[in-house]
Every structure is written in C-alpha cells, then in structure tokens.
Amino acid sequence: MWASQLPLLEHFADFQPHLFYKKLCVYHKVFDCILSQISDHPIFLSHEICPQLPVAIQLTIFLNQAGHYGNVISPEDVAQWAGVSVGSVINCTHHIMITVLDQHNQFLGVPVVDPL
C-alpha cells in the first residue's frame, strides 16, 4: 500500500516554500500560473469510465519527474511518492507534455532585440 505525500505540498506552499520548490522545482505562484493556463485544455476532459486525476495532481507529478531527471528519479519513485501507479505517472507526463506543446507560443517567447 502506498501513502501519497501530495498533501504535504499544500503545507509546504503555505509554510515552507523552499520545500515546495525543492520537490517541484518551481515556486507555488509559478505552479498556480501554469495550472491556470493549462486547466482548460481538452486533453483533461474525461470521456472514459475511469476518471482522470485532477489537473493539479497531474501537473505536480509531471513537475516532480521533470525536475529530477536522469538517475535521480524513476517513474516508480514518482509513483510511490504520489501514491499512484506507474501507468498514471506516464499518462500524467504525456497529458502535461501535450498541453505544453500545444500552447508552446504562450509558454515560451523569443527575446526581442532592438535593432541598432
């Protein structure tokens, strides 16, 4: 049986922001901004018998995995931390990546250089 550590993030966001940042590699305000920009994406509409995890949890799982890449973390580690299956970690990662890539121009910008 896995016990999710996700509820700790709310406490970290309110009382220990450095621990929130350490786990997700973004500050809480940045997390909220990203969440508000991706929440309406059609990929998060559940048309299946088994409903999806809330968008905030999917984003949390993605940021935890993306922020600790390489040998530091595996999908199994993230699954155990979040209290979900490895398949859910993979699905969450795919959903967030599709959303970010679809909204690429809103998330990423090329710096404007003033002509001389």
Percent of the chain with pLDDT over 90: 69
Which tokens belong to 56? 């905030």
Q: Give the span between the Cα atoms of 102 and 73, in whole angstroms.
A: 26
77: its two tokens: 């580690």
Q: Domain for residue 116, yes or no? A: no
- Reported as type and span, the H/E element at residue 20 is helix 17-24
Query: Per the domain annotation, does 112 fall within a domain?
Result: no
Q: pLDDT grade, residue 70 (50/70/90)?
A: confident
Does the residue 51 lie in any domain?
A: yes
Mean pLDDT, range 58-67, rounded to an integer: 95
Residue 114 located in a structural domain: no
Give 44's pLDDT tier (boundaries 50, 70, 90): very high
Q: What is the pTM of this model?
A: 0.86
Q: What is the mean pLDDT of the chain?
A: 89
